[in-house]
Amino acid sequence: MKNKITKTCAFLLAASLLFLSVARGEEVLRKLKVVTEQANIRLKPSIGSIIIKQVPQGTILESTGQEDEWYLIKLTPDELEQASGYVHESMVIIIEGPPKELEEPEIIEEQEEPEKPEKEKKIEETPPQEPAITPPSQPFVTPPPPSEPPEFLFNLVFSGGGSFISGGDLNDGSQGIADYHSEILAVQPQGEAKPAHLSYILGGEFTLALSSHFSLGIGADYFLGERESLVEFPDDPSSETLTIHPKMQAVPLRLAISYYPVRNLYAKIGIEYYFAKCAYYYRFQRVGSWEEWRGEAKAQDFGVLAGLGFDFELTSSFNFIIEATIRYARISGFKGRDRSKNSTGTYHIEEGTLYFYRVATGGEDSYPLLFIRESPPTEANVFNPREAVLNLSGLSLKTGFKIKF
């Protein structure tokens, strides 16, 4: 009987211990794996409890129970006096054992915040300042680089070459008088009246450098063009000859601007004022007699020019240049004097204006003539008189040198 009572008491004690163990959850054994970089095992199931151990990521832990969000962890007794501790469920996952009935909460890495330096604490304690309002910045435009100063401020240019000049009424009048005598004599001429187109040209220019690309020049040229020709009119028993000599010369003063897009190439444009002179000489000679007309007149007028040139440096202060220039200048209003005389001793001087007009013969043709007359010609066979125009337009080609100082 006593043994039965003893067995009954032992059974009841074991059942009580089992009940208490089930009530505390110690009958459930789980294996957990640390999923955060480091898991803190605390003495009590509280975030404010002391940390008794820290284990790295991947460590396998054994849990014998759970209190709310904390797992009870078995610890090795020989390492620590404490045999158990608590780890938060956000730092581990269950890898073996009954799953949780509730959905796993979001993993929150629970780490102690490192102690901040004194300066940072002071900054945190300072009340936040309102950000300063900065006006929108304007786009920065890089100013263009200043023009490079010219290497030399002054230049002196000397040049020479040739020109092709239109001539205008002066050449037409020379041809006209030859054709007129051929018509009057009714003889086919031998030879022709050659126009004056070519002339030589000499010039100089003083330039002021405005920048490395632009310069202002003041200069002058002198050119002279003339041509003498002999036209024969053969007729039995004697022949007659006509000597024709047109002549033109001018001194244009110019103001021009030159632009250097590159170092050795420049373009030029300018205005000119011409002091022009033109002259004619006609001598008609037959057997035993002759007569001649010599006239010279002057005028002034404006013209324009444009040019292109190459500038080659020979030394630091001496350059060689080649320049091509196109001129446009039609000059009128010539005033002068005509002197005529013949083999009989008759001599006549007439001052007036240089006129260009046409003379008709008995036929249907008319021929241009150019003479200095006191007043516009009004003879019966003359028509369309007007002031003569000397056309000095043309092309010039010059070479020379430039002195820089």
Domain extents in the chain: 25-98, 154-404
> CATH classification of 25-98 is 2.30.30.40, yes or no?
yes
CA distances from 299 to 16, 252, 302, 321, 375 (A): 146, 12, 10, 32, 17
pLDDT digits (tens, 9 = 90+) for 34-80: 999 889 999 889 888 888 888 899 899 888 888 889 998 888 765 55
Q: Model pTM greater than 0.75?
A: no
Mean pLDDT of 359-364: 83
How many other C-beta atoms lie within 10 A of the C-beta of residue 42?
20
How far is the C-alpha of 291 from the C-alpha of 341, rounded, in Å?
A: 6
Question: What are the backbone angles phi and psi of residue 201, rounded to the nearest 5°?
Answer: -145, 135
State which of 20-29, 92-101, 396-405 shows the largest mean pLDDT. Answer: 396-405
How far is the C-alpha of 349 from the C-alpha of 291, rounded, in Å?
A: 14
Give the dihedral of Cα atoms 311, 312, 317, 318; nearest 10 deg.
-90
Total residue count of the chain as it appears in this document: 405
Q: Checking DSSP bridges between strand 247-262 and strand 240-244, what pairing results, if any?
A: unpaired
Which pLDDT score, from 0 to 100, does residue 96 have?
Answer: 76
How far is the C-alpha of 376 from the C-alpha of 316, rounded, in Å?
A: 59
| Tokens at 147, concatenated | 């023009």
Nearest partner of 169 among 374, 361, 354, 319, judged by Cα: 354
Reply yes or no on whether the pLDDT at 5 is more than 50: no
Q: Is 104 helix (H, G, I), strand (E, B) or coil?
A: coil
Confidence of residue 134 (pLDDT cuts 50, 70, 90): low
> With contact defined as beta carbons under 8 Å apart, do 228 and 245 qualify?
yes
> With contact defined as beta carbons under 8 Å apart, do 47 and 69 qualify?
no
Please, what is the end-to-end C-alpha distance for the chain in angstroms?
145
Which H helix or E strand runs over 364? none
CA distances from 297 to 28, 229, 390 (A): 137, 21, 11
> With contact defined as beta carbons under 8 Å apart, do 242 and 284 qualify?
yes
